């Protein structure tokens, strides 16, 4: 999806995956943060920013770092250059 320019669809799948994780976990916050980053990239700045802020607050409470879009691509075995232009 990401390499096809379907960031919004990918963001929605990440949000669904996050909802399936236990509340308050780092995994849920990471998935939500990645979802937010993709939403911002696809032009849904307000929705994406809110997701990022929620995730970052939880990650801060857990003492965890804030993963980047590059981190998502590394997790998927892709290069950031593979991302289609919005």
Tokens of 30: 């990471």
Radius of gyration of the chain (CA): 12
Nearest to 23 by CA among 72, 62, 77: 62
Each residue's pLDDT tens digit in the chain (86 positions)? 665 678 888 899 999 999 999 999 999 999 999 999 999 988 899 999 999 999 999 999 999 999 988 888 888 787 766 565 55
Sign of CA dihedral 19, 79, 86, 50: positive
**pLDDT score of 47:** 94
The C-alpha atoms of residue 14 and residue 36 are separated, in whole angstroms, by 9
**pLDDT score of 3:** 59
**pLDDT score of 86:** 54
Residues 58 and 22 sit within 8 Å (Cβ to Cβ): no
């Amino acid at each position: 999806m990401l390499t096809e320019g379907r960031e919004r669809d990918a963001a929605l799948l990440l949000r669904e995956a996050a909802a399936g994780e236990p509340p308050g976990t780092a995994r849920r916050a990471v998935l939500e943060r990645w979802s937010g980053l993709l939403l911002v990239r696809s032009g849904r700045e307000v929705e994406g920013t809110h997701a990022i802020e929620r995730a970052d607050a939880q990650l801060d409470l857990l003492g965890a770092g804030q993963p980047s879009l590059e981190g998502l691509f590394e997790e998927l075995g892709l290069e950031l250059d593979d991302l289609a232009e919005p």
